[in-house]
Amino acid sequence: MLIVLQSDATPEAIANIEGRIRELGFTPHSIEGAGRTAIGITGNKGPVDPGHFRLLPGVADCIPVTAPYKLVSREVKRDDTVIDVGGVQIGGKPIVVMAGPCSVENENQILTAARGVAEAGASMLRGGAFKPRTSPYEFQGLRFEGLELLAKARAETGLKVITEAKDTATLARVAETSDIVQIGARNMQNFSLLEAVGDLRKPVMLKRGNAATIKELLMAAEYIVSRGNKQVMLCERGIRTIETMTRNTLDLNAIPMLKMRSHLPVIVDPSHGIGIRNAVGPMARAAIAAGADGLIIEVHPDPDRALSDGMQSLTLPGFAQVMKELSAIAAAMGRSIHSLVK
């Protein structure tokens, strides 16, 4: 249920409403928007009787919420959530591009990549320090050294950093370095990790699992938000289908579906979505046209020698060309690409 507050509701009245919610064994969640301030209720196993609240001072209305993913639902919050990452807004009118290599390999590689993507107009640097891989024999990342190199690249270029946390044991160190903590597709339903990032007060990008439904992605996001962390963005990165010609099938349907059902920002990963270097640009353009709030794109100074995902990584000149194309698509949609380049 959503309790909509009167515009003149006092702090005392709000505290009284929250106290009543707790008396009933439920949990209150403050929700602010441009058009209304409200309190969401979670913890109930069925419908909540609005009679518990209608006559309380400060209550304007009581609205049932039908979606099982209550706090991330449009029913609870009509306005788009905009996440501020050190001055970079995600979820607003500007489109944010995160770019960089799949894995941090060495200092020269990550600094070269960071300089190149910043010059081309990206505002965030992606790079994996901890790499959960399908095979235990594949490159697993530089781990803590990789985090240090990402921090060095941020200090030089001004790019914000997004990198993956693969488990609760290393989450604290990842959170210290990153501006956005990424939860990878393999961990979308790692509920202990979701709860742990929910306890952080730090932006999180949650990737859709490769066989997960849209509803399951939203329920995974609910785990994080229900713990108090409202700075969550959803990432469509392709799903496994019967098609074998591409690495995955980028589900562009997910963009409007997520935007209709949730207020959270939507990011698209065209690199993993299709897995073919020459096809990343077209899928990135399509994602922007479909309404994505941002992109995360793999870019490597020398993709053919990359330690991971070289086949889907753009070269630096290739990325610069894609950014020009994305600017044109964004303009046609009445939007723009957020860039650090003045």
Tell me which residue has tokens 């993993």: 272
Domain-wise residue ranges, the chain = 2-63, 83-337
Among 40, 36, 61, smallest CA distance to 50 is for 61
pLDDT of residue 167: 95
Question: Is the dihedral angle over the CA atoms 36, 42, 48, 52 positive or is it negative?
Answer: negative
137 Cβ contact partners less than 8 Å away, ≥ 6 residues apart: none
331 Cβ contact partners less than 8 Å away, ≥ 6 residues apart: none
pLDDT of residue 46: 82
Is the full-model pTM beyond 0.85?
yes
Distances (CA, A) of 181 to 23, 128, 129, 203, 211: 35, 11, 12, 6, 22
pLDDT of residue 136: 81
CATH class of 83-337: alpha beta
Q: How far apart are CA 295 and CA 342, in angstroms?
A: 20
Q: What's phi and psi for 20, nearest 5 deg?
A: -65, -40
Q: How far apart are the first and last CA of the chain?
A: 46
Q: Which fold has domain 2-63?
A: Alpha-Beta Plaits (3.30.70)
**Over its length of 342 residues, how does the chain's per-residue pLDDT go in tens digits?**
899 998 889 999 999 999 999 999 999 998 876 656 889 898 888 888 989 999 999 999 998 888 889 999 999 999 999 999 999 999 999 999 999 999 999 999 999 999 999 999 999 999 999 987 778 878 888 999 999 999 999 999 999 999 999 999 999 999 999 999 999 999 999 999 999 999 998 999 999 999 999 999 999 999 999 999 999 999 999 999 999 999 999 999 999 999 999 999 999 999 999 999 999 999 999 999 999 999 999 999 999 999 999 999 999 999 999 999 999 999 999 999 998 876
Q: How far apart are CA 24 and CA 45, in angstroms?
A: 12
pLDDT of residue 63: 87
* Pair 296, 309: CB distance under 8 Å: no
pLDDT of residue 134: 78
